[in-house]
Chain A
Amino acid sequence: MDNAAPLEFHFNVDGKDFTSAGEASVEVKKILRRIGLDSEAIRRVSIAMYEAEINMVIHAGGGEADVSVSPDKITLVMTDHGPGIADIELAMREGYSTAPDNIRSLGFGAGMGLPNIKRYTDELKIESEVGKGTKITMSVNI
């Protein structure tokens, strides 16, 4: 893939159904496998994207995901038009959550999403405006 233009993929994340959250991540995982990337890099991208997808479904009613694969890294941009994050530093803290109880009973909403994303990515940038939405840019080096 040297010197090639980055491969780009676009996905819509459906915000209506929590149980279908993860479909875009599973699809991305399949694509990255077909490209033949390193399995640890694929695993890290899949985990980060899944957590971001879950967040979008819980908090923002869905959104969009753009995946780009270049020779040295995989970049994910997750954009939503949800309520935004008032205090990003607080949201990054393990265990801090604003998810409703029904989400907790499904095994999520424990304040692990953003910390997991940070743990599994090499770069993470969160841009958010209350009332407008959130854009999360993350990348995993290959």
Chain B
Amino acid sequence: MTVNSVCERLDLEVLNLADGEREILGVYAGDLLSWVMGHANESDVLVTIMSNINTLAVASLLDLSCVILAESSEPDPGFVETAQSKEINVFRSKLTTYEICVELSRMLEE
């Protein structure tokens, strides 16, 4: 599944779209960024409520396919600009982390 297909299916709000054709290989959910840092895999989607600029540093270093901010989490000032300059796919959803993960799990199984 691609970033575009997830965006469409979950009706995500686009905060920054850098590469919609990027392939998604897995899903990781978590808000403790140092834990995410140690456990998420390359090309995962990260589902989190943590919307500070460090989230983007983690996404960039791990080469995640995209970040989905859950529960309409409000990004810090400069967040979107940083996502643009680092070319990171970032979306936002009203759904909870759990609800997003359930839907992503269904998509991964299809």
Check A110–B34 contact: CB distance below 8 A.
yes
A113 within 8 A of B: yes
Check A107–B34 contact: CB distance below 8 A.
yes
B11 within 8 A of A: no
A25 to B54, CA, bound (A): 12
Residues on A with C-beta less than 8 A from B2 are none
B37 within 8 A of A: yes
Residues on B with C-beta less than 8 A from A113 are 34
Q: Which chain B residues (45-90) contact chain A, with CB distance < 8 Å?
A: 50, 52-55, 57-58, 60-63, 76, 78, 86
Check A119–B57 contact: CB distance below 8 A.
no
Check B38–A50 contact: CB distance below 8 A.
no
Task: Tell me the nearest residue of chain B to A117, going by C-beta.
Answer: B38
Residues on B with C-beta less than 8 A from A119 are 38
Task: Tell me the nearest residue of chain A to B60, going by C-beta.
Answer: A26
Task: Tell me the nearest residue of chain B to A19, going by C-beta.
Answer: B53
Task: Tell me the nearest residue of chain B to A30, going by C-beta.
Answer: B60
Check B54–A43 contact: CB distance below 8 A.
no
Residues on B with C-beta less than 8 A from A46 are 61-62
Check B57–A107 contact: CB distance below 8 A.
no
A-side interface size class: 20 to 34
A47 within 8 A of B: yes
B100 within 8 A of A: no
Check B54–A22 contact: CB distance below 8 A.
yes
B31 within 8 A of A: yes
B33 within 8 A of A: yes
Given contacts A22-B57, A29-B61, contact A107 B52 (CB under 8 A): yes
B23 within 8 A of A: no
Residues on B with C-beta less than 8 A from A78 are none
The listed residue with most B CB atoms (<10 A of its CB), out of A21, A112, A120, is A112
Residues on B with C-beta less than 8 A from A112 are 32, 34-35, 37-38
- A51 interface neighbour in B34, B50, B53, B86, Cβ under 8 Å: B34
Q: List 22 A-B contacts (CB under 8 A).
A: A19-B53, A19-B54, A19-B76, A21-B54, A22-B58, A39-B42, A43-B42, A43-B61, A46-B61, A50-B57, A51-B37, A54-B34, A106-B52, A107-B31, A107-B33, A107-B52, A107-B54, A108-B33, A108-B34, A110-B32, A116-B37, A120-B38
